[in-house]
């Protein structure tokens, strides 16, 4: 059995226009994070009593709740910028990386199988109770997954040559 801590999720918190990505690992204070695939399934029954089922697409998303803001934390600054400036459309797009920490690269230590994807970040509320400043948010994955490797020391993603442009 693979322990949950070996499925890592990173979000790029670099400000718009930044040339270098700045990845922050999601998970502190979270007891659960799962990507809901939200498949689009269509089931039809014909006049012969036969049933056909087709799965045509996915609309994956994940919910990060709670997220407690910390000063000098790249994720807090990223989310606060969305709140303060009421950002929408492309201004709330970033990329996320899912890393399989149980699949280390055979060619390089500290590099793991990973999937990078564009995502839209939806801040659902902010404030919270007396436990601290909370900014729960949702990540809506856009479906342009690219397979590659992620270096946990440098926090850099390298796409596989076979998946570029796929």
pLDDT tens-digit profile of 73-86? 899 999 999 999 99
- Mean pLDDT throughout 78-98? 95
- Burial of 49: CB neighbours in 10 Å, binned 0-12, 13-18, 19+: exposed
The whole-number pLDDT of residue 78 equals: 95
- Can you give the pTM of this predicted structure? 0.88
Query: Which pLDDT score, from 0 to 100, does residue 166 have?
Result: 47
Which tokens belong to 39? 């498949």
- The residue ranges of DSSP E strands in 37-131, in sequence order, are 39-45, 51-58, 61-64, 93-104, 111-123
Q: What is the pLDDT of residues 133-149, one digit of tens each?
A: 999 999 999 999 999 99
Do strands 93-104 and 146-151 pair parallel, antiparallel, or not at all (unpaired)?
A: unpaired
Q: What CATH number labels 4-159?
A: 2.40.30
pLDDT for res 163: 56
pLDDT in tens, 11-45: 999 976 667 899 999 998 899 999 999 999 999 99
pLDDT of residue 19: 75
Q: Where are the domains of the chain?
A: 4-159
Distance from first CA to last CA of the chain, Å, rounded? 31
Q: Is the pLDDT of residue 165 over 90?
A: no
Residue 15 DSSP class? P
Asked if the model's pLDDT at residue 106 lies above 80, the reply is: no
Q: Are strands 137-141 and 23-26 parallel, antiparallel or unpaired?
A: unpaired
Radius of gyration of the chain, Cα coordinates, nearest whole angstrom: 18
């Amino acid at each position: 059995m693979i322990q949950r801590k070996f499925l890592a999720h990173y979000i790029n918190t670099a400000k718009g226009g930044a040339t270098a990505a700045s990845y922050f690992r999601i998970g502190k204070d979270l007891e659960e994070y799962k990507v809901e695939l939200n498949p689009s399934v269509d089931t039809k029954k014909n006049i012969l009593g036969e049933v056909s089922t087709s799965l045509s697409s996915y609309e994956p998303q994940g919910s990060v709740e709670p997220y407690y803001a910390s000063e000098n934390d790249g994720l807090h600054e990223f989310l606060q910028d969305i709140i303060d400036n009421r950002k929408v459309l492309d201004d709330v797009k970033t990329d996320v990386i899912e890393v399989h920490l149980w699949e280390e690269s055979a060619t390089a230590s500290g590099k793991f199988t990973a999937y990078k994807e564009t995502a839209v970040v939806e801040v659902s509320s902010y404030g919270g109770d007396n436990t601290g400043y909370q900014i729960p948010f949702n990540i809506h994955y856009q479906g342009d997954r690219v397979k590659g490797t992620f270096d946990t020391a440098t926090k850099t993603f390298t796409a596989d040559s076979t998946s570029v442009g796929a």
